[in-house]
Amino acid sequence: MSEEMNYAEQTFNEGDIVKGIAAQVDEKAVSVSIPGAPFDGIVPISELSSLHIEKASDVISVGDELELMITKVEEENFVLSKRKVDALKAWDTLEQQFAAEEIFEAEVKDIVKGGLVVDLGVRGFVPASLVEDYFVDDFEGYKGQTLSFKIVELDKDKNRLILSHRAVVEAEKASQKKNVINQIKAGDVLDGKVQRLASFGAFIDLGGIDGLVHISQVSHEHVSDVSEVLAEGQDVKVKVLSVDPENERISLSIKETIPGPWSNIEERAAKGTILDGRVKRLTSFGAFVEVFPGVEGLVHISQIAHKHINTPHEALKEGQEVQVKVLDVNADEGRLALSIKELLENPEAEEVIDYELPEENTGFSFGDVIGDKLKNFK
């Protein structure tokens, strides 16, 4: 067996790169006709690709032109490799892409334990932790998909190539986040989607960046559990309260995008209006009465009853239904002055008694004065 073959002034050595035509495709090998060579060569299935192949016909057809490396010169036969030629070409390109931190697209060829396999002329591996920026339970749906990748580790000597799709996703999101936050201003009203819920509020996806709706900004009414009002994936409208580009923080409000309980209160509770209400709570100085959902007014202790009371508890109790009269309304400050007393009869109303001031004794009467004056007209 010779490591070198001379034929018609053409030399064929181990390591040479030659071109050939696929003459026959068997299950586990491909026979190749090499122009100018004294005999054909054979490409074992293991040398067709850097990836595992079940049948040679899966990747090669009769008549295909192939660029191959002579790995062994046998008696009347060449052992050839397509995989090594592909790798030589690939490493040069990959080293350039790695140095430039280039992002490129490639098809996921296989799913293996621990990640994905990509054919780039050499076998590229994508660890499970570098596929997405979130946990993926099942990778079966990725086979055949074309994804964008970035090389995160390359070692030609060890034939090691590690790729990341996650790095591309994170870079895109960071760029998108920066663009979005630079466009958002306090006062803007935006459409968003509830990304996730927390005990202190809800994070809203604004299309590239999340903002926080604090629990106090979810509703005009008191909210003790955010999940009772919002659900993940729910579409919402929010108002931007503040933007902190440096720390990438956006404060949002849902409450300020919906009519509040005090909207049009001057019309609904004009001065002099009589309303039905419920005593919500009692204090030392009066009673707070809810007249509309979310709208409470104060009945000062002096406006509860005609008779003197030391505490509101003497006349009222929480939950009691009452009628009230509006004394004053201030929508800007959210204040409503109410009276119960003005709708009640006063059983202790004082009787009005005519009182005549007694005349002083001056020694003459009023009639005497008038009489003396009339004498002058006679």
Is domain 4-81 annotated with CATH 1.10.760.10?
no
Longest CA pairwise span in the chain (Å): 175
Q: Which of 5-9, 26-30, 103-107 has the lowest mean pLDDT?
A: 5-9
Nearest-10 Cα torsion for 291, 293, 294, 295 = -20
Superfamily of domain 185-257: Nucleic acid-binding proteins (2.40.50.140)
Whole-angstrom Cα distance, residue 367 to residue 183? 95
What pLDDT does residue 9 have? 54
Q: What is the DSSP letter of 166?
A: H
Over residues 118-125, the mean pLDDT reads 90
Residue 169 to residue 155: CA distance in whole angstroms: 24
CATH tag, 265-343: 2.40.50.140
**pLDDT, tens digit (0-9, with 9 covering 90-100), for 231-251:** 999 999 999 999 998 888 999
With 80 as the cut, is the pLDDT of residue 82 above it?
yes
Q: What is the pLDDT of residues 283-299, one digit of tens each?
A: 999 999 999 988 999 99
Report the candidate in 276, 230, 277 with the shortest Cα–Cα distance to residue 255. 230
Mean pLDDT of 348-365: 46
Residue 221 predicted with pLDDT over 90: no
| Phi/psi-derived region of residue 233, left when phi > 0, alpha when psi is between -120 and 50, beta in every other case | left
Q: For the ranges 74-78, 158-162, 196-200, 240-244, which has the lowest average pLDDT?
A: 74-78
Does the pLDDT value for residue 303 go beyond 90?
yes
Amino acid, single-letter form, for residue 233: G
Q: Do the domains at 4-81 and 86-169 have one common CATH topology?
A: yes
- Helices vs strands, H then E, count in the chain: 4, 22
The domain defined by 86-169 folds into: OB fold (Dihydrolipoamide Acetyltransferase, E2P) (2.40.50)
Whether 305 and 322 have beta carbons less than 8 Å apart is answered as no
Which pLDDT tens digit goes with each residue over 308-344?
999 999 999 999 999 999 999 998 888 999 999 999 9
Instruction: Please check the confidence at residue 131 and state whether its pLDDT lies above 60.
Output: yes
Q: Is the model's pLDDT at 369 over the cut of 50?
A: no
